Amino acid sequence: MNRITVIGAGYVGLVTGTCFAELGNQVVCLDVDTTKIADLNRGVLPLYEPSLEELVRRNAGAGRLSFTTSYADALRDSEFIFIAVNTPAGPTGEADLRYVRQAAASIGKVLRHPATIITKSTVPIGTGDRVDHILARELADKVSFDVVANPEFLREGSAVADFLHPDRIVLGADRRAAAEHAAVLYRPLGCPILITDLRSAEMIKYASNAFLATKISFINEVALICERTGADVRVVADGMGLDQRIGRAFLDAGLGWGGSCFPKDVSALAHVAAVHGCHPQLLRTVIEINQDQRLRVIQKLIDLFGTLENRTLALLGLSFKPNTDDLRDAPAVSLAQLLEAEGAVVRAYDPVAMPGARHLLPQVHYQDDPYAAAETADATIVVTDWNEFKHLDLPRLHAAMKHPIIIDGRNIYDPDTMRALGFIYHGIGRGGTGEATPEARETTVPAASSNGEHRTAVLAATGQTTTAA
Ligand SMILES: NC(=O)c1ccc[n+]([C@@H]2O[C@H](COP(=O)([O-])OP(=O)(O)OC[C@H]3O[C@@H](n4cnc5c(N)ncnc54)[C@H](O)[C@@H]3O)[C@@H](O)[C@H]2O)c1
């Protein structure tokens, strides 16, 4: 049994602390957010993550997991201290390290015995050295310590499973023995453990996330070409993915990447590159393609309706991906804001993210189920590929909508099935699949003209253009 403190009880810190407790360690999770800690102490989780609640309850009940806001209490006997605080994007894309600095300074003020300080937060190359300096400055006595970089690769939505079954563990330190000491914690997982220097470990995290984001932006660019040339990007991705050098993962075209990691990490790496005199052209393009991907949906709707003024649009899904309530940089948030700016009425449904969304997007009309969200909608946009949306009663959805237009932002439906059901279907990168059945082709959409008068537009077979009747 090892004594572990985890600083920051967010998505990463809470999962890390809980899983280490599950592995039999004695863990204290610390956060400066008093509400979060008070909630955790009465068994209420501050976030949604599958199976986490049960693990927290079991390990807290067994006395292996506790929560506090006191650094003195949290560090009293701790041998391993993880820093898992947030590292958001600063104003020019750089990583804002203030919380990491604060955590390091707070550790330095109270630590009285030798310990290994492990940065789990995603931090720019060289941050481990800064943490080292802060600790050396703040530690009152000559307490010996090591700094180890241990980037985290878990994904929200499957964080517990990812933590307990990782592809690899990366531990970087200036003193190899320090990284090997920290490796003891991960041995029970039976996965490969890569020991590196401090800076390479920090870089591995950024390079991995940037590569994954690049794969998504790449397939989204291919999707656009598919759309214009009549190919289907899903088929293309399957064909590419069978090549073992490429692999099928992260080749799903859609509304682009979002969430709490990719956007800030790609920007932070581009920033690091720029300040070190590199010219990060590829990273900048990857970001630009991603931003365009959201705008393209708005453009598609404007092509259909002429103007979005007073159109009712339904968003299915709000979280940036399924199985999480995380709305940070979620495509749904920018879509809702863009649609509202165009004068549209936005209705929405998400299985878990609506409480958070109500604060962020107060104008949106939240509904209790997907059918209620689609009620009287001029178009429905699938934003998050929650499983529940893959199994909808599609005729019921069709009946609820004013116009049967589906923008399938995650390509979860089969275009032919959708057409047969009478939908006007637009996927991402599925060339020619907007084509409707003869009945749907007759669907008339009253579109507001630029001077505010209504005219009747007949959706062309592709659904891409509107022509005045
Ligand atoms: N969320 C993910 O999927 C994921 C995956 C891999 C890596 N990461 C990285 O892990 C880090 C944490 O991410 P997260 O999503 O868990 O963030 P989060 O915002 O969910 O949680 C961070 C927590 O740290 C607390 N905190 C801030 N300053 C503190 C301080 N000085 N002392 C104690 N607590 C403090 C905050 O109150 C918050 O509860 C980030 O660097 C992120 O890039 C995140």
Q: Strands 115-119, 345-349: parallel, antiparallel or unpaired by DSSP? A: unpaired
In a domain, 432, yes or no: yes
Which contacts qualify for 443-448: CB closer than 8 Å, 24 or more apart?
Answer: 443/403, 443/404, 444/469, 445/304, 445/305, 445/378, 445/403, 447/304, 447/305, 447/306, 447/307, 448/305, 448/306, 448/307, 448/309, 448/310
CATH of the domain at 433: 3.40.50.720
Choice among 19, 29, 226, 261 that is catalytic: 261
Per-residue pLDDT band for 432 (boundaries 50, 70, 90) equals low
Tell me how far apart the alpha carbons of residues 290 and 276 are, in angstroms, rounded to a whole number.
24
φ, ψ of residue 264 to 5 degrees: the values are -75, -30
* Ligand 1 atom showing the smallest separation from residue 14 Cα: 16
Ligand 1 proximity of 12 Cβ (cutoff 6 Å): yes
Task: Give how many domains the chain has, as a whole number.
Answer: 3
Using a 6 Å cutoff on CB, does residue 7 contact ligand 1? yes
Q: Could you identify the atom of ligand 1 that is nearest to the CA of residue 11?
A: 16
Binding site membership of 99 for ligand 1 (Cβ less than 6 Å): yes
Do 307 and 256 have their domain in common? Answer: no
Structure tokens at 356: 């958070």
Long-range contacts made by residues 270-277, C-beta under 8 angstroms, separation at least 24? Answer: 270/93, 271/92, 271/93, 271/94, 271/95, 271/124, 272/94, 272/124, 272/125, 272/206
What is the whole-number distance in angstroms between the Cα of residue 122 and the centre of ligand 1? 9
Dihedral, CA atoms, 314, 325, 387, 366, nearest 10 degrees? -30
Task: Check if the beta carbon of residue 405 is closer than 8 Å to that of residue 423.
Answer: yes
Residue 410 sits in the same domain as residue 338:
yes
User: Which DSSP state fits 188?
Assistant: G
Distance 387 CA to ligand 1 centre (A): 27
Domain assignment present for residue 323? The answer is yes
242 — pLDDT class (breaks 50, 70, 90):
very high
Per-residue pLDDT tens over the stretch 379-400:
999 999 999 999 999 999 999 9
Which pLDDT value is given to residue 461? 29
168 with 240, same domain? no
Q: Is 226 considered catalytic here?
A: no
Ligand 1: does its nearest atom lie under 6 Å from the Cβ of 10? yes
- Tokens in use for 445? 């959409």
Taking residues 402-431, report their average pLDDT: 96
279 shares its domain with 346: no
| 447: pLDDT strictly greater than 60 | no
The closest-lying atom of ligand 1 relative to the alpha carbon of residue 121 is: 41
Q: Are 320 and 350 in contact (CB under 8 A)?
A: no
C-alpha 257/C-alpha 330 separation (Å) is 8
Pocket flag, ligand 1, residue 150 (CB < 6 Å): no
Residue 327 placed within a domain: yes
The answer to whether residues 119 and 162 belong to one domain is yes
pLDDT in tens, 1-16: 999 999 999 999 999 9
Cβ atoms of residues 384 and 400 within 8 Å: no
Q: What is the pLDDT of residues 25-57, one digit of tens each?
A: 999 999 999 999 999 999 999 999 999 999 999
| Residue environment code for 257-282, b if the CB has 16+ CB neighbours within 10 A, otherwise e | bbbbbbbbbbbbbbbbbbeeeeebee
pLDDT for res 445: 52
How does pLDDT run across 252-272, given as a tens digit for each residue? 999 999 999 999 999 999 999
Q: Give, as one character, the DSSP assignment of residue 269.
A: H
Contacts of 235 (CB under 8 A, 6+ apart): none
* Domain boundary, last residue among 146, 165, 196: 196
pLDDT at 450: 37
CA of 257 relative to ligand 1 center, distance in Å? 19
Both 211 and 273 in one domain: the answer is: yes
Share above pLDDT 70 across residues of the chain, in percent, rounded to a whole number? 92
Q: What angle do CA 255, 397, 361 make, to 5 degrees?
A: 50
201 located within any domain: no
69 lies in the same domain as 116: yes
Record the tokens describing residue 74, joined without a space: 């949290």
Residue 280: domain span: 206-287
| Mean pLDDT in residue range 192-206 | 98
Closest CA to 68 of 152, 137, 7: 7
Which of 265, 287, 309 is the last residue in one of the domains? 287
DSSP bridge pairs for 14: none
Write the DSSP symbol of residue 216.
Answer: H
- Assign residue 229 the CATH number of its domain: 1.10.1040.10
Q: Which two tokens stand for residue 336?
A: 């809702």
Ligand 1 centroid to Cα of residue 12, in Å, is: 6
Both 293 and 283 in one domain: the answer is no
22/164 Cα distance (integer angstroms): 10
Decide: helix, strand or coil at residue 141: coil
Domain final residue, candidates 229, 257, 287? 287
The confidence score (pLDDT) of residue 140 equals 77
Question: Per-residue pLDDT for 248 more than 50?
Answer: yes
Q: How far is CA 58 from the centre of its chain?
A: 27
In the chain, pLDDT over 90 holds for what percent of residues?
91
Tell me the average pLDDT across 142-170: 96
327 close to ligand 1 (CB < 6 Angstrom): no
Q: Rounded to an integer, what distance in angstroms lies between the CA atom of residue 435 and that of residue 445?
A: 16
180 and 54 fall within a common domain:
yes
326 CA to centre of ligand 1 in angstroms: 13
Give me ligand 1 centre to Cα 287, in Å: 23
CA-CA-CA-CA torsion sign (115, 116, 122, 124)? positive
Q: What's the order of all strands across the beta sheet hosting 454-459?
A: 444-448, 454-459, 466-468
pLDDT at 276: 95
- Mean pLDDT computed over every residue of the chain: 92
Asked if residues 128 and 149 have their Cβ atoms less than 8 Å apart, the reply is: yes
pTM: 0.90
pLDDT in tens, 337-360: 999 999 999 999 999 999 999 999
From 5, 7, 71, 86, give the residue whose CB has the most ligand 1 atoms within 8 Å, as the site to mutate: 86
pLDDT of residue 142: 81
Closest to 457 in 3D by CA, of 448, 443, 468, 441: 468
pLDDT of amino acid 459: 34
Domain-embedded: residue 184: yes
Q: Rounded CA gap, 381 and 75, in Å? A: 48
- The preferred substitution site among 18, 31, 262 for testing ligand 1, maximizing ligand atoms within 8 Å of CB, is 31
Q: Is 36 in the pocket of ligand 1 (CB under 6 A)?
A: yes
Beta bridge partners of 430: 232
Do 71 and 171 belong to one domain?
yes
Q: How many CB atoms lie within 10 A of CB 168?
A: 11
**Do 357 and 281 share a structural domain?**
no
